[in-house]
Structure 1
Amino acid sequence: MELYRGTTANQTDYNDDGRGPKSGKLLSNTDERLDSGLDSLKEDNLPSLEECRITDFVGPTDEPWKKELTEDGDTYLHLAIIHEATDAALKMIALSRRDPFLNIQNNQRQTALHLAIITDQPLIVEQLLKAGCDASLVDDHGNTALHIACRKGSLACFGLLTQGCSQHLSAILQTPNYNGQKCIHVVAIQGYLSLLESLIQLGADINAQEQCNGRTALHLAVDLQNFDMVKLLIEKGASVHSVTYGGHTPYHLTYGRSNADIQKVLYELTSPHLRELPESDSEDSEDSDEDYEERCQSEVEDLYDDIKVMGQ
């Protein structure tokens, strides 16, 4: 079950793929959840949440329900979160404090915490963290739970995560996903100014480079022509002289771009010897501007639109 691309009131982010109980409660707003893939859950050959009543969770000490998995690797807790069966999910969490059950990853390596953030359920996120869920685990795209909250722009989940995993927060902030992006890069691409400020206050490296091509958050903001983000990054101390692996400063990325204000600001701040494009500049050295914007967008879509059922 790969679940990504949940939808908030104002943003569309991940794509998720999931399986749910045969007679479980589907999400109430199909259109709103269309991007998450929850509407496409396969309904046959799966256990039913109704068949697993809350009272059943108080059963034998060995709690056999913890061992039940769907063919996609989902536990009953995964399924309860996907279908927003809040009471059932909270009961299972309460009976699983400090239990490895909370950190079981499905076939897409998503934990219950990943899914709670994707489906925007802060109460579940809070209880999972209090019960000992590991926020440093990554899914099969390399995303931590915080990567997902940053991509979704979920202030509530972001706050709970940064407060609830303070001991490991520094390491999480330095963790790149499999696209080479740390949380600060994800926020820069999405354009969330408040989350950017929060990440910097929490200790994120404002000049961290993407592992794929060496762009910093400032490079990304210029690439996406986000003047407000450029101004905020400069105000917070982002280096205008940081160069990508191809030798490009943020100012270089203003060439051929429409926003003259961004170009003017960076021209004035960039040392004269770093204003000229490097002689080795070529289309092969880095993505073209149009290609990069398309890649940024496709990364968002890929993370949440790769709905897989039985590997298809």
Structure 2
Amino acid sequence: LKNSSHYIFNDYLRKIYSQGNVKCLEDHLTVAVLDERTDDHQLSLLHLICAGHSEQQSQKVTILLDKCGDDDAKRRALLSNITKNGFSALHIAIYKCEVATAEVLLSNGADPNLAGRSELPPLNLAAMCANVELVERLISAGAALHALDFVNFTALHCATYFAHERVVRLLLRRGADPNYSGGVRDRPLHLASSKGHVGIVSALLEAGADPTLADDEGNTSLHFAAKTGHVGIIDLLLLKIGAGHQEVC
């Protein structure tokens, strides 16, 4: 019976905050405890709103956070709460590509660098999701360009790995280091050369990526391109290497 009542309560919260309209939320907030959480995944009321699907989600976030009044500590606690799996409300909004909701969270003080137990910086997640608008907003809010995630990738590594050229170019314009190395000294250019992303290779080279840099096993971008047979990329790399030699001479 106890488990059954918990299930009913969790389902009730989900329906109000994830699926319900503004009126339902406002009615419940008259009696709700702001730090309520579901028993299963430890989802806060803010998580539930961000996980929802309606045009009113950003408005609902605003209403919930406004209930904190002048209690900044409570507002910060809501914004920094993480789920059982290690994600913040901002993570959820980014994953769902809810730009308006993410805007409200950030404007209310959500930490753009809170990686949580998942060790996933919000900027890296936005780069994976190919959302240029969110990437721009996070950088403007102070997201660290070179924060490393659970596989020691930066946001630029992530955008490169998932072949999101527009995000790659934006990150480079905003100051991402094209030669920044991951956990095994793997560079974005290594990833792009291996995967055959010609446009991304070009963008990285234009931004100053060094094709002669090697990873921990001694492989350069040219090795990766040759191993996978990407002739066009091999040509680009050789042109860059040749130009570098001419400059030295």
Q: Distance in 2 between matches of 1:44 and 1:67?
A: 15
Q: Which residue is 2:238 aligned to?
A: 267
CA RMSD of aligned residues (A): 2.5
Q: Which residue is 2:210 aligned to?
A: 239
Q: Distance in 2 between matches of 1:190 and 1:200?
A: 16
* Cα 1:102/1:268, change in 2 over 3 Å: closer
Aligned to 1:162, which of 135, 139, 152? Answer: 139
Q: Distance in 2 between matches of 1:157 and 1:48?
A: 31
Aligned to 1:54, which of 14, 20, 25? Answer: 25
Q: Distance in 1 between matches of 2:11 and 2:155?
A: 36
Q: 1:6-21 to 2 correspondence within 5 Å? A: none
Gaps spanning 5+ residues in structure 2: where? 1-6, 18-23, 243-249
Structure 1's consecutive aligned runs of 4 or more residues displaced over 6 angstroms after TM superposition are: none
Which structure carries more helix by proportion? 2
1:76 pairs with 2:51: no
Q: Does structure 1 retain, via aligned residues, the 8 Å contact 2:90–2:102?
A: yes
SS of alignment partner, residue 12 of structure 2:
coil
Gaps spanning 5+ residues in structure 1: where? 1-42, 272-312
**Structure with more contact order per residue of length (Cα contacts < 8 Å, sep ≥ 6):** 1
Q: 1:1-312 to 2 correspondence within 5 Å? A: 46-49=10-13, 53-56=24-27, 59=30, 64-84=33-53, 86=57, 87-96=59-68, 98=72, 99=75, 100-163=77-140, 165-166=141-142, 169=143, 172-211=144-183, 213-270=184-241
Q: Does structure 2 retain, via aligned residues, the 8 Å contact 1:57–1:92?
A: no
With normalisation by structure 2, the TM-score equals: 0.80
Q: Distance in 2 between matches of 1:84 and 1:93?
A: 19
SS of alignment partner, residue 267 of structure 1:
helix
Amino acid at match of 1:125: A
Q: Does structure 1 retain, via aligned residues, the 8 Å contact 2:115–2:121?
A: yes
Aligned length: 223
Identity of aligned residues (%): 19
With normalisation by structure 1, the TM-score equals: 0.65
Q: Does structure 1 retain, via aligned residues, the 8 Å contact 2:16–2:25?
A: no
Amino acid at match of 1:202: R
Q: Distance in 2 between matches of 1:57 and 1:160?
A: 32
